[in-house]
Chain A
Amino acid sequence: MSALSVPRSGWGTRLRALYAISLRETIKFWHQRGRLLSALVRPVLWLLVFAAGFQNVFGVSIIPPYETYIEYQVYIAPGLVGMVLLFNGMQSSLAMVYDREMGLMRLLLTAPQPRWFLLFSKLVAGTLLSVLQAYAFLFLCLLFRVGLPLSGYLYALPAMLLGGMMLGALGLLLSVYVKQLENFAGTMNFVIFPMFFMSTALYPLWKLEESGATAVYWLARINPFTHAVELIRFALYGQFNGVACAVVLVALLVFFMLAVWGYDPQRGMVKKSGRG
């Protein structure tokens, strides 16, 4: 008779689970090389086409962290890094919905690990891929001679990790409520576009206020994506934006805890997901 299982516990087993989930996400990403291409084409188009076209329309005055006048391309680069992270965060939501439809979600949720840890592992795995793609975009910025300080590439790492985790947590939360892949278009319309356009990714806050778009100004101010972009913007210049960091951190915790709550069969939305 073979020895039967003895429950394993502790951080060793958890780290193996984290590794398993990260490795799977990486393998899947490697199989879908078009994902990297599409993740880069989008911001590059904005950088080269949109920024070139609107260079003279959107004048940017000297505002922190900038110490001199800058080109519009330089202004929107951190916003486009945020865009890469935002789309990847939503991609992880899409992957969760796909896994649910394919039955893989059950496999994940029945693993002998605390559910919060399984979701945290998904979040970490998705964020690492997001940051990798954000760096690929920053590398293209270098090729296109967008004047970002080289040291900023290193300083921006913790900011991108935090921003990526916050947006990934939002993706996890959305995956609780998005029941079918077909509903994902709604996520684009109701989450990605409003978050991106009502932020400082494309124009600074004072511009919104000056133009009289007060409602948009206030929405942009409370939009956590704004703060993720500002955190990255400041970090690229070796500066720390405490308010942005605090907002991103709080948003990350709130989104993640709500996602864990949503995936708890006793309390969350998953229990309402139909008969077995």
Chain B
Amino acid sequence: MNKSVTPAILSVSRVSKSYGDVRALDAVSFTLASGFYALLGPNGAGKSTLFQILTGLFVPDQGEAVVAGYNLRTDLVRALACMGVVFQQPSLDLDLTVQANLNFYARLHGLPVAEIRTRTAVELEKMGLSEVAGKRCRALSGGNRRKVELARALLTRPRLLLMDEATVGLDPASREMLLAYVHQLCRERGMGVLWATHLIDEAERADGVVVLHKGKLLALGTPAELVQASGQASLLATFLQLSGQPAAETGATLKAI
């Protein structure tokens, strides 16, 4: 999504990654400015691999990624300081309280004590978690745990928020709440969000969609642009056309989506 008027928050250039003979990412390139972007693709598309590269957990075999002007290869620490991440796999310390989890993260990111106090209070209140701040995370519902992870990721006021299938396992109400809140944050804070999903309805509401399939970037644009360019009636039909899935596979894909 190239927006020449706004500076790039994330720039991915010809990034490739293989696991043995399996090509997980194949020369993927795109640029994002502020806004809500869906990274759309079925399971195995390479979304999580891309996220692991963007968070410095994996190094790409080829290519570069730049976050807020910092190259991940040469300036990983500064790049990570500009990012907030909600991983697909839960990453809360269930034995610690909600407040302790947030404090741990904020200190890990080097926030001073006074800022930790105010920011945790603000984020907890916004997420409706103030009342459970003293509870151990083990006692929280799945939805609330996700909210805590999001509150935690927002503590550092990230320029780029990475959400890796963050709504998996949530009930429809919690999913809707999370999605709406992140959209609102995008507008209020002017940050970029890359929201990995295989759910079409989440992608339909995005400012932009990056379609990934079998490690390749198939398309990027606004949902309307993608639908128009494909000549299909919906984003779902567009996605199926782009991924070139034969009729026999369409049923299975529809189920997944």
Q: Which residues of A contact B (CB under 8 A)?
A: 1-9, 12-14, 16-17, 19-21, 23-24, 27-28, 31, 102-104, 106-114, 265-266, 270-271, 274-276
User: In the assembly, what is the distance between CA of A19 and CA of B89, in Å?
Assistant: 26
Return chain B residues, CB-CB under 8 Å to A276: 24, 48-49, 51-52, 57-58
Pick the interface stretch among B153-161, B174-182, B202-210, B240-248: B153-161
Q: A5-B157, A16-B108, A110-B56 are in contact. List 16 more A-B contacts (CB 8 A).
A: A4-B157, A5-B82, A6-B81, A9-B78, A9-B81, A14-B110, A103-B87, A104-B91, A110-B55, A111-B108, A113-B108, A266-B59, A271-B59, A275-B22, A275-B24, A276-B49
Asked if A106 meets B55 with Cβ closer than 8 Å, knowing A1-B190, A4-B190, A20-B104, the reply is: yes
Contact A2 B110 (CB under 8 A): no
- Does B189 sit within 8 A of A, measured CB to CB? yes
Contact A102 B91 (CB under 8 A): yes
- Does B225 sit within 8 A of A, measured CB to CB? no
- Does B220 sit within 8 A of A, measured CB to CB? no
Segment 83-125 of B: residues with Cβ below 8 Å from A: 83, 85, 87, 89-96, 100, 103-105, 107-112
Return chain B residues, CB-CB under 8 Å to A275: 19, 22, 24, 48-49
User: In the assembly, what is the distance between CA of A234 and CA of B96, in Å?
Assistant: 40
Return chain A residues, CB-CB under 8 Å to B188: 1-2
Return chain B residues, CB-CB under 8 Å to A19: 107
Contact B56 A265 (CB under 8 A): yes
Output the nearest chain A residue to B96 by Cβ-Cβ distance: A27
Asked if A24 meets B96 with Cβ closer than 8 Å, knowing A4-B189, A114-B77, A275-B49, the reply is: yes
Return chain B residues, CB-CB under 8 Å to A271: 58-59
- Does B80 sit within 8 A of A, measured CB to CB? yes
User: In the assembly, what is the distance between CA of A111 and CA of B89, in Å?
Assistant: 17
Output the nearest chain A residue to B73 by Cβ-Cβ distance: A266
- Name 19 interchain pairs, CB-CB below 8 A, sorted by A: A2-B157, A4-B82, A5-B157, A8-B81, A8-B109, A12-B110, A16-B110, A16-B112, A20-B107, A23-B104, A27-B100, A28-B96, A102-B90, A102-B91, A103-B90, A104-B92, A265-B57, A270-B57, A276-B49
Return chain A residues, CB-CB under 8 Å to B85: 110
Contact B57 A107 (CB under 8 A): no
Contact B77 A112 (CB under 8 A): yes
- Does B239 sit within 8 A of A, measured CB to CB? no
Output the nearest chain B residue to A28 by Cβ-Cβ distance: B95
User: In the assembly, what is the distance between CA of A107 and CA of B91, in Å?
Assistant: 7
- Does B70 sit within 8 A of A, measured CB to CB? yes
Interface membership of chain B positions 50-66, coded 1 if the CB is closer than 8 angstroms to chain A and 0 otherwise: 01100111110000000
Return chain B residues, CB-CB under 8 Å to A270: 57
User: In the assembly, what is the distance between CA of A116 and CA of B89, in Å?
Assistant: 24
Contact B157 A112 (CB under 8 A): no
Contact A104 B93 (CB under 8 A): yes
Return chain A residues, CB-CB under 8 Å to B81: 5-9, 112
Return chain A residues, CB-CB under 8 Å to B190: 1, 4
Asked if A112 meets B110 with Cβ closer than 8 Å, knowing A5-B81, A5-B158, A24-B104, the reply is: yes
Asked if A265 meets B96 with Cβ closer than 8 Å, knowing A5-B158, A14-B110, A276-B49, the reply is: no
Q: What distance in Å separates the Cβ of A218 from its nearest Cβ neighbour in chain B?
A: 41
Return chain B residues, CB-CB under 8 Å to A104: 91-93
